[in-house]
Structure 1
Amino acid sequence: MQEKKVGEIIAEAREKAGLSQRQLAKIANISNAQLSKIESGEIEIPNPKMLRKICDHIDANYQDLMYMIGLGMEVSPLNPFIKNYYSKLNKEELYEARLNVLGSINNSEKLVESCKENLNKENITEKEKELLLHTIEDTEYQINTSREIIKLIESIEIKERNKNAKN
């Protein structure tokens, strides 16, 4: 059985929610043409922000769809471009990259902590709460990706050490 494409899942979830393409496009604040192209498969990899807007209004999990288009951790922890990029770095560049990625993780963790603190404020609106939750989710995804990059850097360094030990 062939796997469903993102557009098919969105179309099915939209229909299940009893929405027309125009209705979903309007409430998701995207153009009907964009939604039509996503559902038909003409746009195979939708913009993540657009995808989130759509998922917010139908029963389709944003992270699952991100995985399906190759931007999520389960299907493809790191895309081939990232793997290729880091594999070409020399020892000093890998060290610098590790520091940068660790700094990014640290900053992202502080952002998540701050967003979680703001969620507990009493005067927060529903829109602000929604934005904070999206920021937390997206930032946690970035943290996970950065951790995968650290693992990749470590594996490259180990291979390099083993290669040098043999010589």
Structure 2
Amino acid sequence: MVENEFGMMMKQLREQQGLTINQLAETAGISNSQISRMENGVRGIPKATTIRKLADALDASYGELMSAAGYLEEADGMNAAEQSPAWATYKDKRDFKKMLEEDGELMFDGIPLDQEDKQRIKDVLTGLFWEAKQMNKRKKNNNGIPDGK
């Protein structure tokens, strides 16, 4: 069960850092009861934004935690580029994460975005992206076939 694997990994990382549940909770900005439930496999997989907070607090790899949580498994062995619609152009496929990390000026609704704004947008998009991937994976598992096929 992915929840239990994620929880065991999280607990191991926490203990390696010499942190108590309360210390991790304070550092990550997450309740200690939520962390305890995750470690014991009682709570489901957290959202990507919560995993980001945990990775930062544990000085751990965000990608490894996302993988342990089951977010990074590829659907049917296809990578993201292969899952793009046929009509998508290069600009449509542009990596928004990379765009947000670049130093060039970026605006939203005519207002320039600072680094804090860009980071917030990146965090929200990351959470939404992985949440959507997880939902799509569940739909495929429930039906046995991808939706719309």
- Is 2:75 the counterpart of 1:78? yes
TM-score, length-normalised on structure 2? 0.56
How many percent identity over aligned positions?
25
The unaligned stretches of length 5 or more in structure 2 are: 78-82, 105-113, 134-149
Which ranges of structure 1 fall in alignment gaps of 5 or more residues?
81-85, 87-93, 119-123, 146-167
Whose radius of gyration is greater, 1 or 2?
Answer: 1
Higher relative contact order (CA 8 A, sep 6+): 2
- C-alpha contact (below 8 Å) 2:7/2:38 kept by paired residues: yes
Distance 1:129 1:18, change over 3 A: farther
Conserved in 2, the CA contact under 8 Å of 1:22 and 1:32? yes
Q: How does 1:1-167 map onto structure 2 within 5 Å?
A: 5-72=5-72, 76-78=73-75, 97-99=85-87, 104-106=92-94, 108-109=95-96, 112-117=98-103, 128=116, 131=119, 138=126
Asked if structure 2 preserves the Cα contact closer than 8 Å seen for 1:24 and 1:57, the reply is yes
1:18-58, Cα deviation, whole Å (9 max, x unpaired): 21101111111111111111111112422111111011011
TM, length-normalised to structure 1: 0.51
Aligned length: 112
Letter in 2 for 1:58: L
